[in-house]
Chain A
Amino acid sequence: MKQLLILSGKGGTGKTTVAGAIIRLAQVLACADCDVDAPNLHLILNHEGDGERKDYFGLPKAFIDQNACTMCGRCSEMCRFNAVDVGERTAINGFACEGCGLCEAICPENAIEMQAVAAGDLRLFKDEEKGVFSTAQLRMGNGTSGLLVTQVKNQLKNAAAHLGFAVIDGSPGIGCPVIASLSGADMVLVVTEPSMSGFSDMERILDTAKGLRADTAVCVNKADLNPKITEKIKIRCEERNVPYVGEIPYDPIAVKAVNDGLTVADVKCPAGDAVRDIFHNVMEVFDGRRRV
């Protein structure tokens, strides 16, 4: 399965809007939302029902058997995450606990046990017309979002192995969930915006992708809001030898479409037309690289 991953570095540049439009335009039958921290793609794909739900288990958390605990405080001393408070009784702070298991290993009374905790929900939608959609939501107060991203992608691969092409909506930033989503991506479309913040964040995500040897292309959303910076981004892409695949204008019709639960490809608007061109260009780059 070939994977097109949509990333941005900076949040709110329009990843999900672009991903949704491409999915609709190209009638993509395999897609996933890897922004497990703040998923939104489901809001415009409109799959019916709740799909198949599965618990996601991240790393386990420590639990104390109060009857066995002698309050010796060794666990609190050794925990590097300040997750153990020894007051009137020994208590684990589940938000701070990273699940390393050191306390369990060193407790002289064997009073601590690591237990699996559901840290999120995985969902899988299958529809004959709309295809396969894999998504997840991390439950509040949990880390290990990278592991959940990997499971979202595995769920998609298992259910849609027969489908040749998948679109994956990524998360902002350059850390754990982004790096997990980059693994196995054949092509990364970076959606940026013409602002100093967008420019700076684009550089950081391109560096991150380059470090992982992922192929990238860049497009600018809301390009007309600051044409000077849009031009600067274009020049920077040339310098970096990263294909610049197009610009999307700021489009109030697009905003309204998304608020009505539609993709920008569902309504006739300048933003929809622009995404069509961008998708065409991305696929050309994609195909060109494949041939080389």
Chain B
Amino acid sequence: MNIAVLSGKGGTGKTMVSVNLATVAGPSVYIDCDVEEPNGHLYLRPEDVEREAVDVLVPKSDPDKCDGCMRCVEFCRFNALAYTLDRLTVFTEMCHSCGGCKVICPKDAITEYPRTIGYVESGKSDNVKIHTGIMNIGEVAGIPIINRLLEKIPESGNVFIDCPPGSSCSVMESIKDADFCVLVSEPTVFGAHNLNMVTELVTVFGKPFGVILNKDIEGERNPSEEYCIENNLKILGRIPFDKELGLLSSEAVIAARENPKFRNLFTEIFNNIREAAL
């Protein structure tokens, strides 16, 4: 089963939840799709890491063939091409690699070459396999890295997909192969507002889902819980606000490996997910 973990708002505990679930569900696969700020590897500390580059195709122009007609510049909606003085300039970081300029060019002057935008690192930590996507600093879009990561999903077994924050294209890409979505929330009005947004997102994509109430303080108001009750959303479990859990997680230690109390908590949540996903 492929389980995507997302939240809308950042910092609600996606990565902490994902690595702990992957640990109690082991053998399992953990995939970090937050390619801008990947953190799961800090917790899992993978061994035998292998690294592969992720390339995209970008255009270059042969000045001997180019006659300056500028058809490509007019075509490119991403503003990645400019014709200055006597030659074509390519702003590679703006390029979406659609390949259109090459097709359009009447002089056959454009060819494409691979440009590295990031990496996928694969390794192992006990019974968890890890694939981490890392976007290079200064790049704008990590979608091709996410696609490479999703190719690593095995035919069977438990896979945890740690998504980026937000609800835009990179999140949509990350959940496309998910069988079930886990929404991690926090007890703030910000958390509840963004929970509303991701709820809409997973609903549009027809994904079954449930909510984990993280940092829950007993007896105190929880705007995310109120949202779940109002909208009749499935609550998969509660993770109480806990000093020890907070401290372990800040040190990037997997709580379920350290303390049976947390192992039991995450095992129970994982069982609830399995039940809800049936």
Name A's B-contacting residues (CB within 8 A). Answer: 8-13, 16, 37-38, 40, 43, 59-60, 78, 80-81, 95, 98-102, 105-106, 138, 140-143, 145-146, 171-176, 179, 193-198, 200-201, 204, 207-208, 211-212, 225-226, 229, 255, 258-259, 261
Bound complex: CA A264 to CA B104 (Å)? 56
On chain B, the residues within 8 Å of A105 by CB distance are 75, 100, 103-104
A40 contacts B168, C-beta separation under 8 Å:
no
Q: Give every chain A residue within 8 A of B78 (Cβ-Cβ).
A: 59, 100
Interface 9-residue window, one of B231-239, B243-251, B263-271:
B243-251
Q: Would you list which residues of chain B between 76 and 125 have a CB under 8 Å from chain A?
A: 77-78, 96-100, 103-104
Rounded to whole Å, the gap between the CB of B108 and the closest CB of chain A is 15
In the complex, chain B residues 187-203 whose Cβ is within 8 Å of any chain A Cβ: 187-190, 193-194, 197, 200-201
A172 touches which of B10, B223, B249 (Cβ 8 Å)? B10
**Tally of contacts, chain A with chain B, CB under 8 A:** 168
Expressed in whole angstroms, the minimum distance between the Cβ of A159 and any Cβ of chain B is 24
Sample 20 A-B pairs with CB under 8 A, ordered by A number. Answer: A11-B9, A11-B11, A11-B12, A12-B10, A12-B12, A38-B10, A95-B172, A100-B78, A101-B75, A102-B98, A105-B103, A142-B169, A143-B168, A172-B10, A175-B170, A193-B250, A195-B249, A195-B252, A208-B137, A226-B250
For residue B166, which residues in chain A have a CB less than 8 angstroms away from its CB? 37-38, 145, 171-173
Residues of A within 8 A of B140 (CB): 146, 175-176, 179
The answer to whether B42 has its CB under 8 Å from any CB of chain A is yes
Q: What bracket does the count of chain B residues touching chain A fall in? A: 35 or more
Q: Please give the distance in Å from B139's CB to the nearest CB on chain A.
A: 7
Please tell me if the beta carbons of A172 and B98 are within 8 angstroms of each other in the complex.
Answer: no
Q: A105-B103, A143-B169, A175-B141 are in contact. List 13 more A-B contacts (CB 8 A).
A: A16-B190, A40-B9, A43-B190, A43-B193, A98-B98, A100-B98, A105-B75, A105-B104, A194-B250, A195-B252, A197-B15, A197-B252, A226-B250
Interface residues of chain B: helix, strand, loop or mixed (majority): loop
The answer to whether B139 touches A175 (Cβ under 8 A) is: yes
Residues 252-272 of chain B, each 1 if its beta carbon lies under 8 Å from chain A, else 0: 100000000000000000000
A31, B226: Cα distance in complex, Å: 30
- Contact of A38 with B9 in the complex, beta carbons under 8 Å: yes
Residues of B that sit less than 8 Å from A by CB: 8-12, 15, 34, 36-37, 39, 42, 75, 77-78, 96-100, 103-104, 135, 137-142, 164-170, 172, 186-190, 193-194, 197, 200-201, 204, 221, 223, 246-247, 249-252
Question: How near does chain A come to B274, taking the closest CB pair, in angstroms?
Answer: 27
Report whether A102 and B97 are in contact in the complex, using a CB–CB cutoff of 8 Å.
no
Q: How far is the CA of A145 from the CA of B197 in the complex (A)?
A: 16
Q: Are B251 and A226 in contact (CB under 8 A)?
A: yes
- Shortest CB–CB separation between residue B38 and chain A, in angstroms? 8
B32 to chain A, nearest CB (A): 11
